[in-house]
């Protein structure tokens, strides 16, 4: 089967692995598009916006270059390139475990974000892979935490992306994680933990509340030593931070977890010698496009 031809979805090309940002102009009385951008995105100084416009780096959805005097037009989409602060080169390299016309499977190191956010842009798994593989249409079809190492599946073709996303949405993918956490001799293993998770008080966190369960994890103890356990975790649902919240709720938070049970201040440079002891170890599913059985295993290992 030949892959379908990718179509150009945006009027600005990908640059150094980074696609343009997009904003839809709202209803309003701004005289020009430039005036709207300067007011709405005030955290970016006016001189920066003027430099972008003069360089031709602001384009509307019709492919027209936005000038300083281009009239404001409600509902029009405008595309532009971000100018993030300088980033530190990431000290560890991701691995590509598998690649074909449809998917890429990468093995991500700890601390590396999957997608751009905040001050992380070029040093993210997605952007690094776009530059490395030369695939501008690459996109992740599921996520793992920045602090977690292991397997991430990417879609190559926009036309089949939804099919791969449905594998995770419908929970037909088999995902297995490994973790190191304290040992509680009073708990019996294996355990099927089911509870309800909702957004926490901080935008970064989740928390357990009474109510109808919406999260489910199978937890097994593989071995123990000197008060620590080596655990096998199989999430049967896909809530944000599910494994971290479930383990912390049991009183055995993951080793080196800076969010659960206590949210620690974020630092500019993490301690690469103390990664979160959580790895996305195994991923298996039936390929929705080719029908092939897919099974992948991370090279990252955890040990007591």
Cα–Cα distance, 295 to 173 (Å, whole number) = 10
Q: Are residues 169 and 290 in the same domain?
A: yes
Same domain for 152 and 215? yes
Would strands 206-209 and 191-199 be described as parallel, antiparallel, or unpaired? antiparallel
Residues 152 and 42 in one domain: no
Domain boundary among 80, 111, 130: 80
pTM score of the predicted model:
0.80
223 and 247 housed in the same domain: yes
Question: Among the three residues 80, 115, 131, which one is the final residue of a domain in this structure?
Answer: 80
Residue 45, classified by CB atoms within 10 Å of its CB into exposed (0-12), middle (13-18) or buried (19+), is exposed
| Average pLDDT value over all residues in the chain | 91
Q: Quick one: 131 and 259 in the same domain?
A: yes
pLDDT digits (tens, 9 = 90+) for 274-292: 999 999 999 999 999 999 9
**Statement to judge: residues 145 and 219 lie in one domain:** yes
Angstrom CA distances, 169 to 147, 161, 208, 235, stand at 23, 12, 22, 13
Residue 254 falls inside a structural domain: yes
Its domain, for residue 41, covers 21-80
pLDDT in tens, 189-234: 999 999 999 999 888 899 999 999 999 999 999 999 999 999 999 9
Residue 304 lies in a domain: no
241 lies in some domain: yes
Residues 51 and 99 occupy one common structural domain = no
Task: For residues 132 and 44, state if they share a domain.
Answer: no
Q: What is the mean pLDDT of residues 173-187?
A: 97
Same domain, 102 and 242: yes
Specify the CATH number for the domain of residue 32. Answer: 3.10.290
What pLDDT is stored for residue 7 in this prediction?
38
**Residue 109 reports pLDDT greater than 70:** yes
pLDDT above 60 for 4? no
Residue 65 shares a structural domain with residue 142: no
CATH of the domain at 189: 3.30.2350.10
- Distance in angstroms (rounded) separating the CA atoms of residues 47 and 36: 14
The answer to the question of residue 6 being in a domain is no
Please check whether residue 192 lies inside any domain of the structure.
yes
265 inside domain: yes
> Are 244 and 201 members of one domain?
yes
Look at the chain and report how many structural domains it folds into.
Answer: 2
> Distance between CA 236 and CA 62 in Å, rounded?
44
The answer to whether residue 224 is domain-embedded is yes
* 53 & 136 share domain: no
Residue 292 lies in a domain: yes
Q: Give the span between the Cα atoms of 253 and 250, in whole angstroms.
A: 8
Whether residue 128 has pLDDT greater than 50: yes
User: Is residue 78's pLDDT more than 80?
Assistant: yes
């Amino acid at each position: 089967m030949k892959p379908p031809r990718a179509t150009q979805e945006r009027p600005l090309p990908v640059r150094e692995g980074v696609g343009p940002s997009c904003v839809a102009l709202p209803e309003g009385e701004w005289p020009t598009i430039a005036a709207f951008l300067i007011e709405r995105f005030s955290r970016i100084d006016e001189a920066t916006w003027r430099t972008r416009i003069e360089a031709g780096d602001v384009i509307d959805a019709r492919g027209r270059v936005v000038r300083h005097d281009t009239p404001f037009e409600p509902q029009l989409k405008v595309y532009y390139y971000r100018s993030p602060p300088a980033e530190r080169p990431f000290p560890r390299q991701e691995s590509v475990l598998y690649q074909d016309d449809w998917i890429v499977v990468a093995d991500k190191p700890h601390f590396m974000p999957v997608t751009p956010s905040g001050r992380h842009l070029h040093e993210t798994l997605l952007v690094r892979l776009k530059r490395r593989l030369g695939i501008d249409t690459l996109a992740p079809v599921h996520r793992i935490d920045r602090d977690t190492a292991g397997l991430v599946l990417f879609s190559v073709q926009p036309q089949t992306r939804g099919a791969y996303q449905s594998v995770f949405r419908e929970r037909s993918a088999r995902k297995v994680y490994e973790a190191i956490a304290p040992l509680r001799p009073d708990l019996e293993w294996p355990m099927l933990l089911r509870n309800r998770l909702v957004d926490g008080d901080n935008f970064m966190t989740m928390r357990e509340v009474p109510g109808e369960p919406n999260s489910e994890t199978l937890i097994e103890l593989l071995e123990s030593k000197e008060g620590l356990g080596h655990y096998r975790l199989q999430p049967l649902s896909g809530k944000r931070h599910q494994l971290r919240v479930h383990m912390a709720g049991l009183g055995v938070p993951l080793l080196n977890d800076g969010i659960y049970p206590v949210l620690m201040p974020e630092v500019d440079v993490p301690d690469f010698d103390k990664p979160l002891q959580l790895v996305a170890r195994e991923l298996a599913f039936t390929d929705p496009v080719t029908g092939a059985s897919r099974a992948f295993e991370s090279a990252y290992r955890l040990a007591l």
